[in-house]
Chains A and B, each alone.
Chain A
Amino acid sequence: MNKPYDVRDHVWGARLDIRTHEHEKIVVDHRLQSAYIPPCGDCRVQVAGRNVRLLLGTKMLEMTTPVAVKVGFALAKNGGACQYLGDVVLFEIGGEEFTLLPDTAVKVGGALLRKADKADDFQRSLQ
């Protein structure tokens, strides 16, 4: 019997590495920064009808719900995996890198998961 779908299947270890339909790369990972990099504090997560939007600095990423769940899960997982002073969560969209403080990553990840649930409800209401 096939194993049921599991979001963990797409997040190996803690790293998420996926491509959009426009071949843009989205990476979520964590690493120790040797130099101080100002964390990006300008984060918003919103439901956009059937999709979920993540506004990060000057970038806007609109995701389908499966992608939002994967990215949210990866952000929360990487935030939790930061155990040492100086560890930050790396979020890369189409080659542009953002660094998030671990707490911020967990919070944004949780918000993405909840908004994905809302967007999922909206999709079902259309059926």
Chain B
Amino acid sequence: MIGNVYSLQIGAQAQTTSKTLMEIASGAAVVTLVERAQIGQNSFDTSENLGCKIQLITTTGTGTTTVPVPAQAGTGAAAGTQKTNDTIEPTYTASKVLYQSGFNVLSGFLWTPANDDEVFCLAPSALLGIMLDVAPSASMNFSYGATLRQIG
């Protein structure tokens, strides 16, 4: 396995509006690959279509600093400051939407690369946001997360 793999996960968090759920930050001296991103919902039993967007960020917003968990014991802490549940939205980079998709809240959203060429690679110090871009009709509990690989 090249690099270190980390898991950034948040469980059952109430959301009422469209917002950035995760800001993935590449450390100043590492290259970060996003290996997986997922959003699930477990409190609302009616079918409803929401949207998810993955886009590069120019300026970071305000969120809760969350420490990714290494996949292997003994691995050092992940580089970069990962944020979740933003209260002030970041500034997204225009024309840098990497992925956008609707999903049913009953089945959730999952993204993994279709092949090795579809890779979300973050250069050192680069930022990427994973957001709910459609507001839920009522408060729903979302579990979401990402798997990251840091090399360097």
B2 in contact (CB, < 8 A)? yes
**Contact, CB under 8 Å: A7 / B151:** yes
Interface string of B75-110 (1 = CB under 8 A from A): 000000000000000000000000000000000000
A86 in contact (CB, < 8 A)? no
Q: Nearest CB to that of A118 among chain B residues?
A: B116
List, in ascending order, chain A residues with CB within 8 A of B117's CB.
45, 111
Q: How many A-B residue pairs have CB under 8 A?
A: 69
B71 in contact (CB, < 8 A)? no
Cross-chain contact of B121 among A47, A76, A81 (Cβ < 8 A) = A76
B21 in contact (CB, < 8 A)? no
Binds B, one of A18-26, A32-40, A54-62, A102-110: A102-110
Interface size on B, residues (CB 8 A): 20
**Contact, CB under 8 Å: A107 / B119:** yes
**Contact, CB under 8 Å: B124 / A115:** no
With A8-B29, A8-B152, A77-B31 in contact, is A117–B123 under 8 Å at CB?
A: no
List, in ascending order, chain B residues with CB within 8 A of A72's CB.
31
For chain A residues 80-127, which have a beta carbon within 8 Å of chain B?
80-81, 106-107, 109-111, 113-118, 120
**Contact, CB under 8 Å: B119 / A114:** yes
Q: Nearest CB to that of A121 among chain B residues?
A: B1
With A45-B117, A73-B31 in contact, is A113–B123 under 8 Å at CB?
A: no
Q: In the assembly, what is the distance between CA of A69 and CA of B29, in Å?
A: 14
A46 to chain B, nearest CB (A): 9
**Contact, CB under 8 Å: A114 / B116:** yes
- Residue numbers of A with Cβ under 8 A of B are 6-8, 45, 47, 65, 69, 72-73, 76-77, 79-81, 106-107, 109-111, 113-118, 120
- Residue numbers of B with Cβ under 8 A of A are 1-3, 26, 29, 31, 33, 113, 116-117, 119-126, 151-152
A-B contact pairs, 15 of them (CB 8 A): A6-B152, A45-B116, A45-B117, A65-B2, A76-B122, A106-B122, A109-B121, A110-B33, A110-B119, A110-B121, A113-B31, A113-B119, A113-B151, A114-B116, A117-B2
